[in-house]
């Protein structure tokens, strides 16, 4: 086993869900023995026969957070925020860009247990756990469908009763996401329950109003994904944003600690430090921030990346092992042991608002000028992200006052908004959705270039999806064959 894999396994064992994992194993073994021997032969009357809701919830949250990291690790190489140190499937858009670990994380570690939690909460009349469970289910479904498009859901989680689940269309998955989020909000608005999350809720400590705000934020995000098909939803997005987060303190994120360490700290930081190199920051991101593509230096760059003893920040060229001083380090914001994994934050919401207001005003990738409201939201999104990263106030204010940033409503362009969102969502898989929504348009993403040594089978076209994991294509081949598409085929929401 490679050292970095060994390190990852060692550190991940420290996640404080031993009781949860043990409980799940115990339930499985107990049920298996009962089926084999019959009756209640192995039932210990002093030991609970099922995992509690308070044990299932933190495991579901941790798995959901880790799925964002797992997807972000691969996807950030496609979006050219990071670059593989060596030739890599994701980096050069190879046919083996499958994100197998994310598939396993979504289906085995997250949604299967979330499904159990929802069913158990319904039987125990615990609507708050039902509500949170449905929101988490929607989030994981959204993460998966935006990577592979058609995915199993309706026939999933049936165990031996259905070993070959059919794949639901992305359109039906998006309908299910909105329905789950609505049902989650309804459940959280039920009268006070005897079973109320508290410390087991690792995100909001049982604060129902914040979960409802998070559900509204996700509804807004997913409606934006489908704006090409249903532009009438743009006004609804603004209403949802208005009923969501009001500042950074309400961000939907999992904060780690010295015992349960942030996965970006475990890999790539610790693995790179031991010589098992993985990824570095890429030219596209670094040149956006170091003064190369824009005539100003972004003060967030030294917070996001380290340059060691080098004089300047440079990014590695995707598809090669060339260049690059900007590296991952344990002192960088997203990579400290206790850093949060931000799944959806206030700064993203403000930039969503800015984009939606720009579009509602008739804006396009090539138009100039928008409303005061769009411009105000754009500046608010930048400010929120800088405050999240603790950029010194003088540097923050200087950046916001720079004429190239403070362009005014009459000169605001879509590229200004999306450039800031690209930086705000560094290492986040949502960036890939944005870039595909706008077809990798260089009028929006300045100087964006295909990676060197790109997969020749793509004939110079950008990758738009991952291939289905090998495990799925071998175990459920008949169903996979019905939905498999080329890596350059656009998603349903972008057709």
List the structure tokens of 5: 């894999």
Residues 77 and 189 in one domain: yes
Residues 58 and 151 in one domain: yes
User: Within a domain: residue 28?
Assistant: no
Gap between the Cα atoms of 227 and 269, Å rounded? 37
Domain C-terminal end among 338, 364, 396: 338
User: Within a domain: residue 252?
Assistant: no
Using alpha carbons, list the distances in angstroms from residue 409 to 154, 368, 400.
46, 9, 14
Neighbours of 213 (CB within 10 A): 22
List the structure tokens of 362: 């008739």
User: Within a domain: residue 131?
Assistant: yes
Residues 198 and 87 in one domain: yes
Give the angle subtended at the CA of 349 by the CAs of 436 and 80, to the nearest 5°: 35
Residues 271 and 196 in one domain: no
H or E stretch at 254: strand 252-255
Cβ proximity of 434 and 418 under 8 Å: yes
Gap between the Cα atoms of 249 and 214, Å rounded? 12
Range(s) of the domain holding residue 271: 257-338
List the structure tokens of 464: 């738009």
Residues 183 and 267 in one domain: no
What is the chain's percent helix, strand, coil content, to nearest 5?
Answer: 55, 5, 40
Gap between the Cα atoms of 488 and 468, Å rounded? 14
User: Within a domain: residue 274?
Assistant: yes
Average predicted confidence (pLDDT) for the chain: 91
DSSP state letters, 449-477: -PPTT--GGGTTPPP-SPPPPHHHHHHSH
Contacts of residue 174, Cβ cutoff 8 Å, sequence gap at least 6 = 145, 222, 225, 226, 493
Q: Is the pLDDT of residue 7 over 60?
A: no
User: Confidence class of residue 321 from pLDDT cuts 50, 70 and 90?
Assistant: confident
Gap between the Cα atoms of 39 and 103, Å rounded? 36
Whole-prediction pTM: 0.90
Domain C-terminal end among 275, 310, 338: 338
Give strand ranges (E) for 334-482: 340-344
9-28 burial: b if 16+ Cβ within 10 Å, else e: eebbeebebeebeebbebee
Percent of the chain exceeding pLDDT 90 equals 85
H or E stretch at 255: strand 252-255
Please tell me the least confidently modeled range out of 81-90, 196-205, 412-421.
81-90
* Greatest C-alpha distance within the chain: 76
Give the CB-side neighbour count of residue 118, counting CA atoms within 13 A: 20
Residues 189 and 265 in one domain: no
Q: What is the pLDDT of residues 138-185, one digit of tens each?
A: 999 999 999 999 999 999 998 888 889 999 999 999 999 999 999 999
* Phi and psi at residue 340, to the nearest 5°: -80, 155
Q: How many residues does the chain have?
A: 495
CA 240 to centroid of chain Cα atoms: 20
DSSP state of 194: S
What CATH code is carried by the domain that includes residue 124?
1.25.40.390
Residues 196 and 267 in one domain: no
User: Confidence class of residue 89 from pLDDT cuts 50, 70 and 90?
Assistant: confident
pLDDT at position 75 is 97
Structural domains in the chain (count): 2
Gap between the Cα atoms of 85 and 38, Å rounded? 55
Residues 175 and 273 in one domain: no
User: Within a domain: residue 449?
Assistant: no
Neighbours of 47 (CB within 10 A): 9
Mean pLDDT over 68-97 rounds to: 92
Gap between the Cα atoms of 45 and 414, Å rounded? 64
Domain C-terminal end among 338, 366, 390: 338
User: Within a domain: residue 455?
Assistant: no
Cβ proximity of 79 and 432 under 8 Å: yes
Residues 98 and 157 in one domain: yes
Which residue in 146, 217, 232 sits closest to 181, CA to CA?
217
Pairing of strands 82-84, 340-344: unpaired
Q: What is the pLDDT of residues 424-452, one digit of tens each?
A: 999 999 999 999 999 999 999 999 999 99
List the structure tokens of 391: 């950029």
């Amino acid at each position: 086993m490679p050292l970095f894999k060994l390190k990852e396994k060692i550190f991940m064992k420290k996640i404080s869900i031993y009781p949860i994992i043990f409980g799940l194993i115990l339930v499985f073994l107990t049920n298996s023995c009962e089926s084999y021997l019959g009756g209640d032969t192995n039932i210990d009357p002093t030991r609970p026969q099922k995992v509690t809701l308070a044990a299932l919830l933190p495991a579901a949250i941790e798995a959901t957070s880790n799925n964002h990291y797992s997807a972000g690790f691969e996807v950030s190489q496609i979006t050219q925020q990071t670059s593989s140190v060596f030739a890599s499937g994701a980096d050069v858009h190879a046919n083996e860009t499958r994100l197998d670990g994310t598939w396993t994380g979504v289906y085995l570690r997250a949604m299967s247990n979330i499904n159990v939690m929802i069913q158990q909460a319904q039987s125990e009349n615990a609507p708050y756990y039902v509500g949170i469970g449905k929101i988490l289910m929607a989030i994981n479904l959204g993460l998966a469908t935006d990577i592979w498009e058609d995915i199993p859901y309706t026939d999933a989680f049936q165990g031996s009763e259905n070993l070959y689940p059919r794949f639901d269309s992305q359109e039906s998955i998006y309908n299910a996401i909105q329905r789950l989020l609505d049902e989650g909000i309804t459940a959280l608005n039920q009268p006070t329950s005897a079973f109320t999350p508290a410390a087991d809720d690792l995100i909001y400590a049982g604060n129902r109003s914040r979960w409802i705000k998070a559900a509204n934020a996700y509804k807004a995000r997913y409606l934006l994904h489908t704006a090409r098909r249903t532009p009438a939803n743009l006004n609804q997005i603004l209403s949802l944003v208005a009923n969501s987060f009001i500042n950074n303190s309400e961000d939907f994120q999992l904060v780690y600690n010295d015992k349960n360490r942030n996965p970006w700290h475990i890999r790539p930081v610790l693995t790179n430090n031991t010589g098992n190199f993985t990824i570095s920051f890429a030219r596209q991101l670094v040149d956006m921030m170091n003064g190369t593509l824009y005539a100003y230096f972004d003060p967030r760059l030294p917070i996001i990346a380290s340059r060691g003893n080098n004089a300047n920040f440079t990014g590695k060229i995707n598809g090669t092992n060339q260049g690059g001083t900007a590296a991952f380090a344990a002192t960088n914001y997203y990579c400290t042991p206790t850093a949060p994994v931000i799944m959806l934050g206030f700064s993203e919401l403000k930039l969503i608002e800015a984009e939606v207001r720009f579009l509602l005003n008739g804006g396009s990738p090539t138009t100039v000028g928008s409303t005061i409201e769009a411009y105000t939201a754009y500046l608010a999104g930048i400010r929120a992200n800088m405050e999240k990263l603790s950029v010194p106030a003088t540097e923050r204010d200087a950046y916001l006052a720079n004429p190239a940033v403070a362009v005014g409503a009459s000169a605001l362009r879509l590229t200004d908004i999306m450039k800031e969102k690209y930086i705000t969502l560094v290492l986040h898989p949502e960036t890939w959705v944005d870039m595909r929504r706008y077809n990798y348009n260089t009028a929006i993403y300045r100087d964006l270039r295909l990676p060197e040594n790109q997969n020749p089978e793509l004939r110079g076209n950008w990758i738009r999806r991952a291939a289905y994991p090998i495990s799925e294509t071998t175990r459920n081949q008949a169903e996979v064959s019905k939905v498999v598409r080329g890596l350059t085929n656009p998603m349903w929401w972008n057709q």
